[in-house]
Amino acid sequence: MSNEAGNAVKHVVILGALSAIGEATARLYAAEGARLLIAGRNEARLRDVASDLAARGAAECQIRALDLAACDAGKEFAAMAEALDGRVDAVLLFYGVLGDQRTAEQDPAMLRDILAVNFSSAAEWAVAAANQLEKQKSGVLVTISSVAGDRGRQSNYIYGAAKAGLTTLTEGIAHRLAPSGAHATAIKLGFVDTPMTAHIEKGGPLWAKPDQIARLVKKAADRPGRPVVYAPWFWRWIMLIIRTVPTAIFHKTKL
């Protein structure tokens, strides 16, 4: 199947398509005439988004309404791949939860939820995607990680630990897939103005918008190379500085 430009139509699975960045990225693929399968918890919203993506040019937009953090990822992903005729060109994993660090320190249930959503369940989906990509010897997995995982800080070390694990997992998948011709990339985000960060005071050049990040995610998926990408790019250097601050000095900060 080809689009009007004569290029092969891309088959794209978006996990967490109702997130601000996920929806923005889906629009970019829709404009190219991709076949999309979008997944999230709210069926009514998924239908609205699917209609919008079809209007923007998507060749097809299937929906899957399910709790991505509480289902059989292997079984569900196999069904998604089958729905796209057994070929998946890109798997984009966007869903996550920030949680509240202070509450999680006292509430084991919230602690478990932060770790389960951001790492354990994400790992199941990532490995399921890797199995499909390795079998077909093509395609790319993109996971959304965070600079919070670069160094443990008192303000968000639980969330950061989960994202550090997701980054390492994605790097390992990239290593595994290399001989097959498929790829995997973890996108480490800095500050992004989304509903997840609505409670945080914003301002200044370090804050990015979902549309900006969506373009970077799609670029990484379309031209996969490095297993870890910082978005925007300057966070690589910011985190390098933070990682190299001596412990004696770092422990006096309130980061």
For residue 105, what pLDDT is reported? 97
Q: How many beta carbons lie within 10 A of that of residue 118, not counting itself?
A: 29
For residue 23, what pLDDT is reported? 97
- CA 142 to centroid of chain Cα atoms: 6
Helix 108-115 × helix 157-177 angle, to 10°:
20
For residue 5, what pLDDT is reported? 47
Tell me the Cα Rg of the chain.
18
For residue 8, what pLDDT is reported? 86
Residues contacting residue 12 through CB under 8 Å, at least 6 positions apart: 26, 29, 34, 35, 36, 37, 88, 89, 90, 91, 92
Tell me, what amino acid is at 156? N
For residue 6, what pLDDT is reported? 46
Alpha-carbon gap, residue 86 to 55, rounded angstroms: 25
Q: Would you say the pTM of this structure is higher than 0.85?
A: yes
Token reading at 32: 């190219």
For residue 163, what pLDDT is reported? 98
- Residue segments in the chain with a per-residue pLDDT below the cut of 50: 5-6
